Amino acid sequence: MKLLRFGEMNAEKPGVLDADGNIRDLSGVVGDIAGDVLSAEGLAKIAALDLNSLPVVDGNPRIGACVGHVGKFICIGLNYSDHAAEAGMQVPEEPVTFFKATSAICGPNDDIEIPRGSVKTDWEVELGVVIGKHTKYVSEEEALDHVAGYCVVNDLSERDFQLHRSGQWVKGKSADTFGPIGPWLVTRDEVEDPQNLSMYLDVNGHRYQDGSTKTMVFGVAQVISHLSQFMSLQPGDVISTGTPPGVGMGQKPETYLKPGDKMELGIEGLGVQKQVTYAAE
C-alpha cells in the first residue's frame, strides 16, 4: 500500500493511493497515519478495505508528510561508502547518529526555506524507514519485522551551521522545512529489498546524486538493531539512513542552494519530491 496524508499543514487527513493513482480518503477509518495505525494489525485493517468504497479526493490537494506525530527523527551520517569518500572522511566503525528536530518535517513538495545567515544550504536524498512497533534490543535478523514502511526523505543541511558553529550536527539539520518526508509511506510488503533501490536528486535539471542503497555501509536491519541498543523505537519514528555521493559540499567547487532553485528527488518505488527554495525573511 501507498499511504499518505493530504490537506493543509497541521490539518492533514489520512489517505491511501488506489490502483489508478487516485487518493482515497481514510479519515472515516483511521484518525491519522500514525501510532498504532502503523502496526501490523493497523495496516492489515487498511489492506482489507475495499478501496472503491472510500471517497475519492478531488482536485490536487497539498500532500503532507506521510507520517503524523513523529516522535523521533533519527538520521545516520556517512552511511554510504562513496559519500564518505567524497567528504574525505573515514567510513565509521559504528553508525554515526544524530537527530533532526521534528519541527523540520514538512510535505514532500512544500517550499524549502533557506535560513537566515545561511551560506551553505545543501541537499541529501535518503531512504526513510518508518517504525511500526515498539523496538528495543532487537536483533538484525528480526529488525525488518519492526518496519511499517519506507519513504523518501530530503535531509537538508546547512553545512556551515553543521560543521563550523560548534556542538552537534543538529544545528545544521533542523531549520524549518529541512525534513520533507513522502510523498507516500510504502508498506514493507511492497519493498522487496531495501538494499537495492536506485535514488537520485536533481537541482535545476542537473543530476547531482545518482546512487543506490546497495552502497550503504550499514544496512537498514543493522541500523535498526544498532539504534535499539541505545533507545527504544516507537511506531511512527522515522530513521533517515544516509545519502549517496553528489551533495553540494562534495562538488568542485562546492555548490549550494540559493533562492529560487528547484529540486527533484526520488527513490525507486517510493515516489518523487519536488521543491523550490526561498530565503527566510
Domains, the chain, in order of start with CATH, read 2-53 (no CATH), 73-279 (3.90.850.10)
What letter does residue 229 receive in the DSSP assignment? T
Mean pLDDT of the region 149-172: 90
CA atoms within 13 A on the CB side of 176: 10
What are the pLDDT digits (tens) for 19-48? 999 999 999 999 999 999 999 999 999 999
**Distance between CA 172 and CA 163 in Å, rounded?**
8
What are the pLDDT digits (tens) for 213-260? 999 999 999 999 999 999 999 999 999 999 999 999 999 999 999 999
What does the pLDDT read at residue 91?
80
Q: What percent helix, strand, coil does the chain show, rounded to 5?
A: 20, 30, 45
Could you list the beta-strand ranges (E) of the chain: 2-6, 13-17, 23-25, 73-77, 96-99, 105-106, 112-114, 121-122, 125-131, 147-154, 157-158, 179-180, 185-187, 198-203, 206-212, 238-240, 262-267, 271-279
Mean pLDDT of the region 262-274: 98
What are the pLDDT digits (tens) for 46-87? 999 999 999 999 999 999 999 999 999 999 988 988 777 777
**Distance between CA 34 and CA 21 in Å, rounded?**
22
